[in-house]
Amino acid sequence: QVQLVESGGGLVQAGGSLSLSCAASGSSSFGVMGWYRQAPGKQRELVATITSGGNTNYVDSVKGRFTISRDNAKKMVYLQMNSLKPEDTAIYYCNAFTQFGGRLYWGQGTQVTVSS
């Protein structure tokens, strides 16, 4: 059974940094992995994705501030968030496609709150 477990959320002041981690299990390997977020009253939106080969993609609003990375051996994906803004406040979810079969799985989310 595939599971994704996020950690590292919390409360930080504007301009600060947080690092999120997501541990994936239950599959021999994973393809594209990513981070999404959902703010109150808004739809879930893409933050960043990364392929198994390390190619990355970011939503424009986080470019230059957030960095996605992964460790394929450990089946981990990370999101380093710098220069945080109040508008980054949201529940952050990781997701991952299994390498074989291409099924998509989601974690339960971790809250990130940025105070002004």
Provide the 8-state DSSP code for 48.
Answer: E
User: Would you give the DSSP letter of residue 42?
Assistant: S
pLDDT band at 79 (very low <50, low <70, confident <90, very high): very high
- Rama region for 47: left / alpha / beta (φ>0; ψ in -120 to 50; rest): alpha
CB-based burial label for 20 (10 Å; 0-12, 13-18, 19+): buried
Mean pLDDT over the full length of the chain: 96
Tokens representing 3 are 């599971």
Residue reference for tokens 């990370």? 78
Residue 82 three-state SS = coil
Is pLDDT above 90 for 6? Answer: yes
Question: How does pLDDT run across 86-108, given as a tens digit for each residue?
Answer: 999 999 999 999 988 789 999 99
Other CB atoms within a 10 A radius of the CB of residue 73 amount to 7
3-state secondary structure at position 86? helix
Report the C-alpha gap between 23 and 81 in whole angstroms: 18
